[in-house]
Structure 1
Amino acid sequence: MFGRRRLFLAGVVLLGVSSLAGGLAQEPALMLAARAGQGIATVMVTPAALSLMTTMFPEGPARSRALGLNGALMAAGFTTGAVLGGVLTGTVSWRWAFFINVVIAAAVLAVAPFVLREPPAGRRPKLDALGAITVTLALAALVLGIDTAGHSGWTRVGAWGPILAAIVLFAVFWGVESRVVAPLIAPALLKRRNVAWGNIAGLLAFATETSLVFLLTLYLQEILGYTAVAAGLILAVLGAGTVLGGLVAPKIIGRVGAKAAIVAGFVVQAAATFPLAFAGDSRGWLVPLLIVTFAGGVANLVAIVGYTVTSTAGVPGEQQGLATGLVTMSQQVGITLGTPVMSALATGWAATTLLPGLRFAIGVNAAAAVVAGLLVACFLRVPKASA
């Protein structure tokens, strides 16, 4: 509707303004509004940036390299942000975790207008407001139900009520998308097996690895007794692995194909995660943890770059905004759902101590990666030009 370049720049402006408001906040209301603004800015910038890349770079090796570098930088940003946020909070002030975004936004705005190229504008679509409202309510209800189950147990009505409401809302959403002229998620697009199954793979890739970071944070702090800053620095090794994974992913995809890269990524990720299901309460586990989390981080980013390449392959230029919007949504849904699910498993199986629950949740996490690899191997079909 508004153009990729324009939406990207507007999102960066909103990120800077929201971060400034968060850093200056003196009461909870302004802080919550600032965090909401940051969230909206992120979901403006991310699909717009992906859509710019998939339209500026032709499908094939050039696009794979661009998306691989994007994945590496995203992973580097996630890791650096987590560590730097802890350091700034501990040494200066928590407010600088917000103010630093203002500096970054200003730097991006100084450069982006000169390097981003907007592809020729096509027909301007209409906004599918009803679809946007129903899918947002459905996702919010699903997250609420899972989060409630994590705190109160899966037998509570407060958990299953929102989950059932989410199922109904998803059904309503699908009905809306089948009838409107310009759907938010075109059913015809989801009939492409590379788009549908690619995004399922992406959702599972983000759900498993981000929730594993949460479980390992609990393990390092609550079981091994490390401080929050020390735990963040330890998990930076996993972040380094994801950066490497983003850099090597295009070469792996070029050699074996996107589908095989995704499957291999999930298999290696599962193999690296499974030993942690036997972790003990001794700090002697630190070195094995560093090794396997680094390997798992590499594998996870290979799968993520593979799913991004796959989910945008063969999609016409005028639909790349829809395709990259789906990529972003699967990423955010995976991040949002993974941690509450693993938290519920960990607390549900914890008896007198947390360690048994963490072991169980990590084992389920590894099993989920295996299942994801099997689903991709059985059902994903990649267009020949990108296979």
Structure 2
Amino acid sequence: MSTVNSPEETRADHSPGPAPASERMTKRQTLILLLLLGAQFTLAVDFSIMNVAVPVIGRELDFATENLQWIATAFALSAAGFSLLFGRVADLIGPRKVFLAGLVLLTLSSLAGGLVDSAGPLLAARVAQGLATAMVTPAGLALLITSFPEGPLRDRALGLNGAMLSAGFTCGAILGGFLTDTLSWRWGFFINIPIGILLIVVTPLLLQGSRSHGGKLDIPGAVSVSAGLIALVYGISAAGQYGWGDPTTLISLAVGIVLLVVFGFVELNASEPLAPLRILGRRSVTWGNIGGAATFIGFTAMIFLLTLYLQEVLGYSAIATGLTFGVLGVGAFLGGVTAPRWIGALGSSRAVLVAGLLVQGITVGVLFFAGDARGWLYGVLGLAFLSSYAHVAAIVGFMVTATSGLPNEQQGLATGITTLTQQVSITIGIPIMSAIATAQIRSMSSEPVKAATLSGINLAILVNGLILIAVALLVALFLRNRRTAGRH
């Protein structure tokens, strides 16, 4: 009597040999991957390239000091607020159309941003760039996922995507400083133009027109969720400027929560909901995104806290601090490249997500013991390298977990949710940990400034690590195995 082995058993029963055809990328798939990775890398660079130039922009365009943060926040508001909407639009009309439209908007807004001569138009250009990100990111991820079958090929593609995202953030900071010092901050905008034009020309040649799945757009749901997310992100951003007890912060957070509750009720009664609750109710989607939120919050907060530590405690210059973060970029790239192998070795993306969160949490938490002597630099960078590696491995685990097992017509929504998770988490990580550090520093007002600062950083970094470990344990508990995740 014959038996049928599982794919894992079949691979184990044979000696290593050439990978089966289904696990090799075709030339066309390779070109598609390069195109989509190029787009994601550009968006990641775009997110961070202007941050280094903020002080120079403020001086040239007469920004008030307290308003400088809105150069980054204006981008984050629109990117977070509209990613779910455009992810759903990609499902309805086809991701290639949304992808191309986003590239066009990115190119035009970058041209406008480089030509502005006052604060208002610059912020408008940043809002438009954020909208472009909300269009291109979920549509590009949907195209990537549907271009590769579920399994090793898709895992490899998502691993490279995670590597490119992290490499883009790092390169953006370095490139932004170089362009600002040697040419002008305006080149932080202009550099997107030739890349955008190239991607616009190549996209129709490589990506076939995807079939639209029809249906109606849930307008009430779109309005309530977009407005709610914008209010929520605005409130969290305002907390970093005014404090958590300020009326602006509290009102914005309250409005955001109310609108998101309204969105939930709208979805329950909509004939064609923007985000069907059956998708949001899947354990793989819910807990995958909770794990993704934790890793993004933890990593962005760690970068912020290490920046303070290196400059305010160890006394390094801003340039030296930026260069040391190149170590994190190397760790992030290696994490993205090797994460698919870990998925194969550990047997599931859920296991990689949990392991990545645990390693990230432990390495961040150990930074609690860092002192004020410069000899700590090497140990801190070693731990930060491991944390960066684990962070990107967790991102890959999160992306595979949160998008697997869904039909192609729902991938735009699934990737819209993952994009939303990424954008919101990047935005809220710094205000939360900054509030913890600031409260500790103020409680030690009688101590020397350096000692108080170190104590605040250490406490925030410890809380950061404990949150990551706690979320890892929860994800492990509620996503016990792939089969359970697929049913819920």
TM-score normalised by length of structure 1: 0.94
Distance 2:212 2:480 in 1: 29
Corresponding residue of 2:466: 367
Q: After alignment, is 238-247 or 178-187 more displaced? A: 178-187
- Per the TM alignment, residue 242 of structure 1 is displaced from its structure 2 partner at its CA by 0.9
Corresponding residue of 1:97: 188
Q: 1:382 to 1:7 in 2, by over 3 A?
A: farther
Distance 1:232 1:385 in 2: 43
Task: For residue 301 of structure 2, give the secondary structure of its aligned residue in structure 1.
Answer: helix
Q: Alignment identity in percent?
A: 50
Corresponding residue of 1:48: 139
Q: Cα deviation per residue 1:323-347 (whole Å; 9 max; x = unaligned)?
A: 1111111111111111111121121
1:274 alignment partner AA: G
| Structure 2 residue 328 is matched with structure 1 residue 229 | no
Q: After alignment, is 121-130 or 153-162 more displaced? A: 153-162
Contact 1:79/1:239 (<8 A) preserved: yes
Structure 1 unaligned spans of 5+: none
Corresponding residue of 1:80: 171
Q: Cα deviation per residue 1:206-244 (whole Å; 9 max; x = unaligned)?
A: 111112111212222222232322211111211211111
Contact 1:242/1:301 (<8 A) preserved: yes
Q: After alignment, is 155-164 or 67-76 more displaced? A: 155-164
| Structure 2 residue 297 is matched with structure 1 residue 297 | no
- Per the TM alignment, residue 86 of structure 1 is displaced from its structure 2 partner at its CA by 1.4
Distance 1:184 1:203 in 2: 21
- Per the TM alignment, residue 59 of structure 1 is displaced from its structure 2 partner at its CA by 0.8
Task: For residue 372 of structure 2, give the secondary structure of its aligned residue in structure 1.
Answer: coil
Q: How does 1:1-387 map to 2 (within 5 A)?
A: 1-119=92-210, 121-256=211-346, 257-351=348-442, 352=445, 353=449, 354-380=453-479, 383-384=482-483
Q: 1:239 to 1:148 in 2, by over 3 A?
A: same
Q: 1:201 to 1:90 in 2, by over 3 A?
A: same
Q: Cα deviation per residue 1:332-378 (whole Å; 9 max; x = unaligned)?
A: 11111111111211212213432221111111111111111011111
CA RMSD of aligned residues (A): 1.9
Task: For residue 350 of structure 1, give the secondary structure of its aligned residue in structure 2.
Answer: helix
Distance 1:144 1:168 in 2: 14
- Per the TM alignment, residue 313 of structure 1 is displaced from its structure 2 partner at its CA by 0.9
2:479 alignment partner AA: L
Contact 1:258/1:386 (<8 A) preserved: no
Distance 2:104 2:423 in 1: 21
Q: Which of the pair has more CA radius of gyration?
A: 2
Q: After alignment, is 232-241 or 297-306 more displaced? A: 232-241
Distance 1:196 1:358 in 2: 31
Distance 2:331 2:209 in 1: 33
Q: Cα deviation per residue 1:129-174 (whole Å; 9 max; x = unaligned)?
A: 2212212222233233334444444444443333233222221110
